[in-house]
Amino acid sequence: MELLFRPRRLRRSETLRRMVQETRLRREDLIYPMFVAPGQGVRQEVPSMPGVFRLSLEKLVEEAKEVAGLGIPGVLLFGLPQKKDETGSEAASPKGAVQQAVRRLKKEVPDLVVITDVCLCGYTSHGHCGLLRPGGEVDNDATLEVLAQVAVSHAQAGADIVAPSDMMDGRVGAIREALDEVGQEMTAILSYAVKYASSFYGPFRDAADSAPQFGDRRAYQMDPANARDAIREAALDVEEGADILMVKPAMPYLDILARLRPEFDLPLAAYQVSGEYAMIKAAAQKGWLDETAVMLESLLSIKRAGADLILTYFAKQAAALLGK
C-alpha cells in the first residue's frame, strides 16, 4: 500500500522536530515561588522539597537576583510571620515579611515582576484561610475585608500583582474595589480562580507552616470531582476584575486547563504545586526517573494544555536549560 503521508518524515532529525514543534516552552513562561522568613541569615531547606528554601530577607534578595539573571520574569512571594493569631493580623502589617520583601525587591531588582500571595492560612493560629465563626466555620464576608487590607498593603509596598488564593466567594471584587479606592488601580490581580482541595499541597504546608489545625479546606476549595465548577468560578472572577486566571494544581488538572483555554481570553496560569515537584524529585533521587527530562516534559504538558504562565519550583532549573 502506498502511504501518501508519512508523519515520521518530520521526525527524522532534531532540527526538523524543532521546526514543526507546536508547543514551545520559554523562560518567560515561568514564575518562581519563594518563601520569605523572619530573621537574618536564614537559608533553611524544606525537607520535603529538596532545593527549595525558607529565606530571610537578605537571602531572598540574593536568590531573586539569580532568578532575574536566568531570564525568569517574576516571583511569587509567600510570607512566614513572626507570630500567629486567630485573625492573622500580621498578614496586613506594613512591617510583615512579604511587605518588607516587596520593597527590597522593587528597589534592588526593579525589573522583576513581584507577585504576592494573598491569604491568611499561614498567618492564623488555626491554619484556615479566613476568619472563623464561633462554631469553627470560615466567615466568608468578614474575611473579604481582611483580604482586601492584605492586598492593599502589598500593593502599597510595590507589588506588581496580588494573587488571592483563599477561595472565598467575592474576594476578587472586594480586592479590586479596595485597590482602586487607594489609587492602586494599576495593580493587577492574578486569581487562584480554580483551586482544588488537593492532596498535592502537603510539602507546601510544611514550607509555609500552614496546615489547618482542625478539619480541612473542602468547604471552600473546589471538589476534585467537579469540572463544570471550574468554568463558573473562573467566570465569576473575570466579572469581578481578575487580570489573570490560575488553575491549581497543574498536572492532575490538565483537563481543566484545556477546558478553560477556549472559554476565556485572559492570560491563563497553572501552578505546578509542591507535591508535583516533590514526586519528581523523590523518584529522581531513587534513580527511577531522569529528573531533567521528566521536569521539562511535565512543564511542556502544562503549556500544551493551555497555560500561558507556569508557577513552578523547577523554574530556575528549567530556565538554565531553556536559556542554552
Residues 6+ apart with CB under 8 A from 113: 31, 73, 74, 75, 160, 161
Spot the catalytic one: 59, 84, 195, 303: 195
Neighbour count for residue 232 (Cβ, 10 Å): 12
* Peptide bond between residue 164 and the one before it cis (omega within 30 degrees of 0): no
User: Left, alpha or beta for 158 (phi > 0: left; psi -120 to 50: alpha)?
Assistant: left
* DSSP labels, 48-83: TSTT-EEE-HHHHHHHHHHHHHTT--EEEEEE--S-
Spot the catalytic one: 59, 84, 248, 303: 248
Q: Based on the residue annotation, tell me whether 195 is a catalytic residue of this protein.
A: yes
Q: Give the 3-state secondary structure of residue 310.
A: strand
Q: Tell me which DSSP letter residue 186 carries.
A: T
Q: How far apart are CA 115 and CA 118, in angstroms?
A: 9
* DSSP labels, 213-274: SSS-STTTSBPTT-SHHHHHHHHHHHHHT-SEEEEESSGGGHHHHHHHTTT--S-EEEEE-H
Q: How far apart are CA 114 and CA 265, in angstroms?
A: 23
Long-range own/partner contacts, residues 135-141 (CB < 8 A, 24 or more apart): 136/214, 136/215, 137/219, 138/168, 138/219, 138/220, 140/168, 140/169, 140/170, 140/220, 141/170
Residues carrying an active site annotation:
195, 248
